[in-house]
Amino acid sequence: MTIAAHCIHIAESEIELLADSRTAVVHNPQSNMNNAVGVAPILRWVERGVRCGIGSDGMSANIGEDFRVADLLQKSVQGDPRVAWSEVATMALDGNPSIADAYFQRSLGVLRPGAAADVIVKSYRPFTPLERGNVWGHFLFGIYREPALLTLVDGEPVWRDGRHVRDLDLSAIHARSNELSVDLWRRFAG
């Protein structure tokens, strides 16, 4: 499976090629904004049948933030508050699991028998009614910001009430991360 990232400045013929080849495209809105490289034409991708998802490109540890930014960015660029609502939801809720399934050869991002039981539980008390037709809006503008009460990875708890529940040496993880990032930036700078 081929995954392309960003795909900001592409011609219509290239969008058709992405769709025809079943190449997955991952939109990274915060990274694109940070690097001032333009806005990806995600509405055209979805319209043409490109399999697409939303990623963070390392800009965020909370993918919900990237979903929200993808939605707001398209509304701003298009000058229309009605656009991107369903496209971003489709990318997040259908595209991301589809891409993960194909890449990892495992059912991810869904709740069904046989799938990896990756679950985040949050406490959320909405100030407006939470109904079938507005769940996505509640997620984008409320739920994702709430702290996780419980996180399960493949059915096993890894986070509960603001603390890791697995034996992790966070000091060693941070030290190694810093070491690797220095090397990465050195290579990146050329």
First and final CA of the chain: distance in angstroms? 30
Mention the CATH class of domain 1-112. alpha beta
pLDDT in tens, 92-126: 999 999 999 999 999 998 888 989 989 999 999 99
Q: What is the mean pLDDT of residues 179-184?
A: 93
Average per-residue pLDDT in the chain?
94
* % of the chain at pLDDT higher than 70: 100
For residues 124 and 146, is the Cβ–Cβ distance under 8 A? Answer: yes
Query: Which residues are paired to 120 by β-bridges?
Result: 151
Burial grade of 75 (CB within 10 A; 0-12, 13-18, 19 or more): middle
Burial grade of 118 (CB within 10 A; 0-12, 13-18, 19 or more): middle
Task: Give me the pLDDT at residue 1, please.
Answer: 87
For residues 144 and 67, is the Cβ–Cβ distance under 8 A? Answer: yes
What residue spans define the domains of the chain?
1-112, 117-190
Confidence of residue 150 (pLDDT cuts 50, 70, 90): very high
> Which of the residue ranges 49-53, 80-84, 107-111, 178-182 would you say has the lowest mean pLDDT?
107-111
Angle at CA 184, nearest 5°, toward 181 and 186?
110
pLDDT of 188 strictly over 90: no
Q: What is the mean pLDDT of residues 125-137?
A: 95
Confidence of residue 90 (pLDDT cuts 50, 70, 90): very high
Residues found in the chain: 190
Burial grade of 172 (CB within 10 A; 0-12, 13-18, 19 or more): exposed
- Of 110, 105, 91, nearest to 25 by C-alpha is 91
Q: Would you give the distance in Å from CA 177 to the centre of its chain?
A: 22
pLDDT of 190 strictly over 80: no
pLDDT in tens, 18-77: 999 999 999 999 999 999 999 999 999 999 999 999 999 999 989 999 999 999 999 999
Task: Give me the pLDDT at residue 117, please.
Answer: 86
Gap between the Cα atoms of 46 and 90, Å rounded = 9
With a threshold of 0.85, does the pTM exceed it? yes
Task: Give me the pLDDT at residue 61, please.
Answer: 87
